[in-house]
Amino acid sequence: MDFHPFLYLNKILGILDFKMPNSDNINYIKTEYKKINNLFLSGKYNLVIDKVKKLLKKNSKQIPFYNLLALSYREIGNLLMAKKVLIDALKINPNEQSVLVNLGSTYRILIEFEISEMYFKKVLSINPTNMHALVNYANLKRDINDYDGSIELYKKALKIDEQNNIILINLAGVYQIIGKFEMSKQLLEKLLAKDENNALAHKMLSTIKNYEKQDEHQTKMVSIYQKNILNDFDKATLGYAISKSFEDQKNYKKSFEFFKEANDIQKKIHQKYSIQNEISLFSKIKKSFEVTDFEKYPQYQNNKELIFIVGLPRSGTTLVHQILASHSKIYGAGELVFLDQFMKNNIDNQSFISLFKNSSYADNKKIENFIKSYFLKINFIKSKENIILDKNPLNFQWIGFIKILFPKSKIVHCSRNLKDTALSIYKNAFDINSIIWSNDEDDLAKYISLYLDLMEFWNQKIPNFIYNIKYEKLVENKKDQIKKLINFCGLKWEDQCLNFNKKANPIKTVSITQARKPIYNSSINSYKNYNDFLNLIKNLDLIEKKKAP
């Protein structure tokens, strides 16, 4: 997804709460804890799980091992098992702060915000200066767009440990989201003064900086990169930052070299990944709606209206979000993950998918419960406006489900010159575990082909439900295009929609600086700067020829 770089290391940026075994434990237990903790820190999570399970059979009362076990499950993506392990640990000691913090953090990732907040509040009622609780609660506040609350909690944590890198980088990230770039810059420079090899801090700084020739920060980044002292993930992160600095200087060959190597490193990290995963997913989605009659489904009533902005990442979704969010009736919630996570968790559940092949779902409590659950999550994001704007671009996959679950919602589909879009995806850093198909030129071209095919399917299957807006037309004739967009949303015109950049709406995506500017055309046909280097461009030429009438 189109995440701002500060968010794509989210699982690490929360402070994990460990606790050494009590001094009255046998030396063997303390020694084993240190060994297993080192395995965890080196990323050997499955080995940690095996060893901890054996140790807990010998001594089931050791809470530190429950934390290590749960956090290892969390790192390999098994959040439900992580939750179970932590709940078991609470049976030993219901007020153990480390377990409560880790449970709150796990529920946050599970998007169970209310439960997450309950655990953080419980810890802080026991110990108001628990830094782990403060930082993780601040992360929750950030997730639900309560940026003032988030900043307040980070600052409380900083009073406890003003040199803590995790707090500094999180606070710098929130300042970037709300457009306070100078404050973010000061924090990042403070962090880099004492930790010059912090790749994420360099990446975040590069996002809000414009590089002239012979820039000192660029020189420093290249020097660190060439020393080869970073792990693969950090080297890729720094590579994207250096690439951006060379693009600012219009040195496109150097820019390409660095983002190509960054993508190659990311691809190596995910060497087991196959684009076949996406091919299978898109096939399942289409088969689910081959015979669906959307008109036969009932209309579910709710107190919030929804607008979904969809499309490929980097296709203008953030720009359209900023335009619509400037309207007085709309709350721009950014990229919500509720729907995407729910669908991915259920797409292989045949009993669930069968509900969308006929109109008998009215009596199905699972669907109704999801709709209620979705709006409970939406309502947890406090907003005065009655129209909620969700700009998770990859929700284009779920348009058929959206039509049934939220029939009165509106879909705005953003598209842009495919070559510009593909280049922008390929040269930018995203959540390492979300769009793995972006790290390989052939995979990216295949994914774009899948996207085009699915959007054609939706437009034919549900005519008049999707509003298609093209980035180039928006740039060329912004007033006319914005008026049409506002009209599609059933709203009255407001001049501030034309001057959207004057309203400081938070931005959590890679477009954190661009989308705060007036509409500009300098990015149109930007792919031509890289035409000589990218095989991707040739692949897209073939795709466009096949799609041409």
Q: Which residues contact residue 353 at a Cβ distance below 8 angstroms, ignoring those fewer than 6 apart? A: 284, 288, 346, 347
Interval 53-76: pLDDT, tens: 988 888 888 888 999 999 999 988
User: For position 539, what pLDDT does the model report?
Assistant: 81
- Rg value, the chain, Cα: 24
The mean-pLDDT minimum among 136-145, 297-306, 308-317, 447-456 falls in: 297-306
CB-based contact 233:269 (threshold 8 Å): yes
Token code pair at residue 310: 């969809």
Interval 3-41: pLDDT, tens: 233 332 333 334 444 454 454 456 767 788 888 888 888
| Closest C-alpha to 409, from 459, 456, 460, 467 | 467
Interval 537-548: pLDDT, tens: 888 877 776 665
CB-based contact 260:534 (threshold 8 Å): no
- Above 90 in pLDDT, residue 431? no
Percent of the chain surpassing pLDDT 70:
87
Q: Element (H or E) spanning 311, and its range?
A: strand 305-311
Tell me what the mean pLDDT of segment 246-252 comes to.
Answer: 96
Tell me what the mean pLDDT of segment 483-506 comes to.
Answer: 85
Report how far residue 183's alpha carbon sits from residue 149's, in angstroms, rounded to the nearest whole number: 17
Token code pair at residue 173: 């990230």
Structural domain spans, the chain: 276-547
Q: Which residues contact residue 387 at a Cβ distance below 8 angstroms, ignoring those fewer than 6 apart? A: 304, 305, 306, 307, 329, 330, 331, 489, 491
pLDDT, greater one: 433 or 290: 290
pLDDT, greater one: 88 or 338: 88
User: For position 12, what pLDDT does the model report?
Assistant: 34
| Closest C-alpha to 505, from 337, 307, 321, 380 | 321
Which residue's structure tokens are 């710098």? Answer: 172
What is the dotted CATH code of the domain comprising 276-547?
3.40.50.300
Interval 413-430: pLDDT, tens: 999 999 999 999 999 988
The mean-pLDDT minimum among 150-154, 171-175, 295-299, 461-465 falls in: 295-299
| Mean pLDDT taken over the chain | 86
Tell me what the mean pLDDT of segment 475-502 comes to.
Answer: 91
The mean-pLDDT minimum among 23-32, 248-257, 324-333, 507-516 falls in: 507-516
Burial of 290 (0-12, 13-18, 19+ CB in 10 A): exposed
- Above 60 in pLDDT, residue 387? yes
Report how far residue 129's alpha carbon sits from residue 157's, in angstroms, rounded to the nearest whole number: 8
The mean-pLDDT minimum among 69-83, 345-359, 521-535 falls in: 345-359
* Full-model pTM: 0.86
